[in-house]
Amino acid sequence: MNELLERLEARVSSYGSTAVLVALSGGVDSAVVTAVSARARGHANVTAVTAVSPSYPAGELETARSLAAEIGVTHRVIETHEVEREAYARNDELRCFHCKTELYATLSRLAATAGPGVAVLAGANADDLADVRPGLRAATQHGVRNPLLEENVGKVDVRAIASALGLSVADKPALACLSSRVAFGLRIMPSLLSRVDRAEQAIRQLGFDSVRVRHRGPSATIEVPVEDLDRLREYEALEQLLAKLRSLGWDEVSVDPAGYRQGSLNPTR
């Protein structure tokens, strides 16, 4: 673990600039990048930046704020407007590219005002290469660095690092933007994202930490980890829960018998 941390710190140090901005979503990957950057550059030279938009799940901003305080770095909140981009709202296979283009362009402008050569860092890890991630191309275009990816660090090691550093999110379920719940080709709208968010919050309140409500047009499916499927299907008030979710705007809502799969709406799945 010490060797892995040294590699990551050396990678962050290699970027040349003294100060760095880190895109901090509140998830474990970006938390580790923030913490490693603070170790490599000094806490005073790291600013964690959280982007808020309709695609950002409710409650995550407080997590991000707490993480920045926990790590001991400055925290800033910005607004991004990817949902207002037609290329994003039409929701084709490049949606993530247009989202990250909006984010990284905003962060690059912020970095430029912070001083010459300020590096912008993000939290992509090596396992992301196995999924559909067009946002990585946007990172390359804007000069955003992903130290976990560059050092070939996958999710298992990321969580181990987070645990070793004592980060409170070490065991937090994977975080993804709300638009990832919408089947490609169905238009992204703030009202739809809010509906998905409310549906997931209702299920999390029952004690299911990892939840995805996939919007498929008139219908929606609920994904929870396979090990939680029986608990959800045997929940005594399941029919009332499904009725509550239907009242949000779907004709039909059902539990996906295959359980949670990362990127299950991606065209390669």
Mean pLDDT across the stretch 129-154? 92
For residue 267, pLDDT over 70 is answered with no
What's the chain's average pLDDT? 94
**Which residues make Cβ contacts (< 8 Å) with residue 208, sequence separation at least 6?**
224, 228, 231, 232
pLDDT at site 18: 82
What is the chain's alpha carbon radius of gyration, rounded to the nearest angstrom? 19
Kindly report the three-state secondary structure assignment for every residue of 73-102: CEEEEEECCHHHCHHHHCCCCCHHHHHHHH
- CB 123: neighbour CB atoms within 10 A? 23
For residue 263, pLDDT over 80 is answered with no
Domains and CATH numbers, the chain: 2-164 (3.40.50.620), 178-255 (3.30.70)
For residue 269, pLDDT over 50 is answered with no
| Alpha-carbon span 26 to 67, nearest angstrom | 7
Q: What is the pLDDT of residues 58-84, one digit of tens each?
A: 889 999 999 999 999 999 999 999 999
| Alpha-carbon span 36 to 42, nearest angstrom | 10
Q: What is the pLDDT of residues 9-52, one digit of tens each?
A: 999 999 987 899 999 999 999 999 999 999 999 999 999 999 99
For residue 229, pLDDT over 50 is answered with yes
Kind plus residue range of the DSSP H or E element containing 48: strand 46-52
Mean pLDDT across the stretch 188-215? 96
Mean pLDDT across the stretch 182-204? 97
Top pLDDT among 215 and 134 is at 215
For residue 242, pLDDT over 90 is answered with yes
Mean pLDDT across the stretch 155-159? 96
The 3-state DSSP class for residue 41 equals helix
Residue pointed to by tokens 């962060």: 107
pLDDT at site 38: 97
| Alpha-carbon span 267 to 243, nearest angstrom | 29
Q: What is the pLDDT of residues 96-123, one digit of tens each?
A: 999 999 999 999 999 999 888 899 999 9
Sign of CA dihedral 107, 108, 109, 111: positive
Of 1, 43, 48, 50, the closest CA to residue 18 belongs to 43
Q: With 0-12 CB in 10 A as exposed, 13-18 as middle and 19+ as buried, what is 113? A: exposed
For residue 164, pLDDT over 50 is answered with yes
pLDDT at site 179: 96
**Phi and psi at residue 254, to the nearest 5°:** -140, 165
Residue pointed to by tokens 């912008």: 120
